[in-house]
Structure 1
């Protein structure tokens, strides 16, 4: 097949021909840290008629495997840009962070130096990361500030627990989003910072601002993203929103440019076949009991029943510190020691010199941080709800993938991508809670040629739930 996916690169001009069906042209207008586009994203075709392309991030740890410190430093770069442009302050170790991110060298040392130098905020600020791709990105930005708290949005539905705000992600395959952060996080007039990996039109951000503003009015918002492709017409809508509510909306990004799209979405996936061979014995090792023991001081576990599309209720506890229900900077700092302990425990259980850690759905930041403590030659990525065409061509971002029933809801398909056959000898699979069905996912992982699959559930249905000892920190 000709013209599967080609890229033309000039200093500020990029042209992508996507599967011979779509042409994307990008003009870079702002790139303050002089980052290389090929280190930030690739392109793939969505199975989505609303928006047929996807900027596949090379920094998120979502669709593609990354060094966990590369993803964590991407959040730090967003923190630096926000500190410079909105707070008008100097960000600690900025040049070292930029250099580590560009070169992919000394990332671990740079991150651990930086995390001990958070920026104090004069106003209590709420950071909100968008599900599902930016839950870890938002968290890894928030962690560089004091006097702050963090929440991520979610597509999960809870029983007898009302969403604080609702909004729609109109271009998505799953448009409805909720936010279960406690009202106390919203019931102030302090600034809110909204984080997503990429902004194309900005409609989703406007939707959440309107939802917040009508219920919890304030004067200041900031939208933060790695990539910002809004047109002049899109930016005009932001000015109109500012005038409508008499508010200020700041915009912060690592790269800003203009995007034009020609052609139609790809409707049929080109012929795809994943390599296979006689499946060897795969060892399944469940570390859940030991993992929970290692987190004996990690008492921010709460029971909130979820319900899926089949009306099945799961009473297993979530982890408060993911940000799903809100987490303060003090609590976030307090649990780092516990994540370090668990990471070191799992490091001792490794069977291979090259290991993959796999988060699930919105559950990204906690397993990413654990992975960062598991030694060298660790890569991290996560499963996703995004259906993407798979094409094994050199310049196309998504080369392989599997679909499987969501552990939370068998009516919803989830995916993992770009795990080449026999690339890893072992996978560490992280799940936030018990009471989910992993059989289909594990069967798909077995087909990748791994010898070991380690299961880590960070809470158990039958465990004793302590009072949150961090609530007054």
Structure 2
């Protein structure tokens, strides 16, 4: 039986259409994204990625392999040479061919000469994606924007993501000199819709430190000709080269009244959404995985190639510790990350999947993004767990979400949940909120990693 595309529900009700463009990685838009309805009056639809691991629990090797593949496209553009894209690997992995996700990941880990660059990822969605791109380049310095001010770190710059539900971003490098270099800058996001966010970023960065070359990298590129012309105009204005790469291109066609229809759907269905199936109070266990000393938990304050080397060495050991704690009998395990903390759980999940070859390991993360859940096979967000924030965010407390963690009415449940959190977010509010919800679904293992503070 042919699987239902997880965008049909929205396409039929909102009139949203995807039109394919370039396929540099051999996959089209509809295989890379599904559709959902946002709870956002400025943007009715959400493109839900099949390879990002944010809203949809996904094989972590497919997530990491896709990020490395995007990084290979960046590497080839920086070196002005042909990209090394394994034929059919991404399409096979998206189609669920057994072993294809691991094969894609392994193929993209083949070493290349390191490329010196600065890679910037956008919080919260693209923090691990940007990190994966930096890994593919080998010699890159990585930094992601953050919505969490940290005492002791001075902001290098900021920018606005105009369509977002939470627009303030900060750059908080522990070593600002790492950004003050005339090397190529790679800006990584999950999608390029209009390109306005990256234009704002390039302009702000160029005012501080001019550079000769910028590359925009995204899983999908939806810009129209007018959007692309704005990039070309900025390049001329700055006297710089600005390139763009993506796994797939195309466009999203929207009816004129899409915002009104989206608001009406949210209003009509919000009160009718059934709560997720819950089964009682399962146990919660905790471990410290022995995160390698001196290795940041992510790119909030910068991540160097030598950090990646140290992390790679210790990943199998940490995966074995988690596998031992999970015990025998696990068959479907979710590795759940925490908002901007996406890279650590991704790499831990990837290592756990390698350590437990007979177990279906999936990866996703919690998010600030409010999205309507509809329990229908043709809709990308089947279930939603809502809970209060638990890391003392600068903009005050608010509601947070975990999507597709509770089982859909016709889908399998996870029999273990591993929640990865930094020590700043491991609070009583977490225990009383999200963990209380998760333990009603399955046994929970909390893995706490040290939040990097610059003095480790």
Q: If the TM-score is normalised by the length of the shorter chain, which range does it land in?
A: 0.7 to 0.9
Q: Which residue of 1 aligns with 2:169?
A: 177
Q: Which residue of 2 aligns with 1:455?
A: 446
1:466 Cα deviation from its structure 2 partner = 10
Residue 412 (str. 1) matches residue 401 (str. 2): no
Once the two structures are superposed, residues 130-183 of structure 1 have per-residue CA deviations (whole angstroms, 9 ceiling, x without a partner) of: 111111111112111222111111111123422111000000000111111231
Match of 1:202 among 195, 217, 221: 195
1:97 Cα deviation from its structure 2 partner = 4.8
Contact 1:197–1:226, Cα closer than 8 Å, also in 2 = yes
Q: Which residue of 2 aligns with 1:432?
A: 422
After TM superposition, where is structure 1 displaced by more than 4 Å over at least 4 residues in a row? 5-8, 16-19, 90-93, 96-100, 465-468
Once the two structures are superposed, residues 290-346 of structure 1 have per-residue CA deviations (whole angstroms, 9 ceiling, x without a partner) of: x2xx33xx2226xxxxxxxxxxxxxxxxxx241111111122122212222111110
1:272 Cα deviation from its structure 2 partner = 0.5
| TM-score for both structures, normalised by structure 2 | 0.86
1:354 Cα deviation from its structure 2 partner = 1.2
| SS of residue in 2 equivalent to 1:158 | coil
Residue 240 (str. 1) matches residue 241 (str. 2): no
Residue 328 (str. 1) matches residue 304 (str. 2): yes
Judging changes above 3 Å, is the alpha-carbon distance between structure 1 residues 96 and 394 closer, same or farther for their aligned structure 2 residues? closer
Q: Which residue of 1 aligns with 2:283?
A: 283
User: 1:17, 1:102 → 2: CA distance?
Assistant: 21
User: 1:444, 1:174 → 2: CA distance?
Assistant: 24
| SS of residue in 2 equivalent to 1:143 | helix
Q: Which residue of 2 aligns with 1:305?
A: none
Match of 2:319 among 320, 328, 343: 343
Residue 67 (str. 1) matches residue 59 (str. 2): yes
Contact 1:359–1:430, Cα closer than 8 Å, also in 2 = yes
| TM-score for both structures, normalised by structure 1 | 0.84
Contact 1:152–1:324, Cα closer than 8 Å, also in 2 = yes
User: 1:86, 1:101 → 2: CA distance?
Assistant: 27
Judging changes above 3 Å, is the alpha-carbon distance between structure 1 residues 269 and 225 closer, same or farther for their aligned structure 2 residues? farther
Residue 139 (str. 1) matches residue 103 (str. 2): no
Q: Which residue of 2 aligns with 1:423?
A: 413
User: 1:155, 1:467 → 2: CA distance?
Assistant: 21
1:82 Cα deviation from its structure 2 partner = 2.1
Query: Of Structure 1 and Structure 2, which has the larger fraction of its residues in strand?
Result: 1
Judging changes above 3 Å, is the alpha-carbon distance between structure 1 residues 27 and 264 closer, same or farther for their aligned structure 2 residues? closer
User: 1:256, 1:325 → 2: CA distance?
Assistant: 31
1:102 Cα deviation from its structure 2 partner = 4.9
Q: Which residue of 1 aligns with 2:69?
A: 77
Q: Which residue of 1 aligns with 2:341?
A: 363
User: 2:6, 2:66 → 1: CA distance?
Assistant: 26
Once the two structures are superposed, residues 201-229 of structure 1 have per-residue CA deviations (whole angstroms, 9 ceiling, x without a partner) of: 11111111111011111111000011111
| SS of residue in 2 equivalent to 1:147 | strand
1:245 Cα deviation from its structure 2 partner = 1.2
1:80 Cα deviation from its structure 2 partner = 2.4
| SS of residue in 2 equivalent to 1:137 | helix
Contact 2:121–2:130, Cα closer than 8 Å, also in 1 = yes
User: 1:118, 1:167 → 2: CA distance?
Assistant: 33
Match of 1:373 among 335, 351, 360: 351
1:286 Cα deviation from its structure 2 partner = 1.2
Q: Which moved more, 1:170-179 or 1:351-360?
A: 351-360
Contact 2:69–2:85, Cα closer than 8 Å, also in 1 = no
Match of 1:188 among 174, 181, 186: 181
Q: Which residue of 1 aligns with 2:218?
A: 225
| SS of residue in 2 equivalent to 1:59 | coil
Q: Which residue of 1 aligns with 2:384?
A: 401
Contact 2:10–2:37, Cα closer than 8 Å, also in 1 = no
Contact 2:66–2:90, Cα closer than 8 Å, also in 1 = no
How many aligned residue pairs are there?
424
1:27 Cα deviation from its structure 2 partner = 2.2
Contact 2:419–2:444, Cα closer than 8 Å, also in 1 = yes
User: 2:242, 2:163 → 1: CA distance?
Assistant: 22
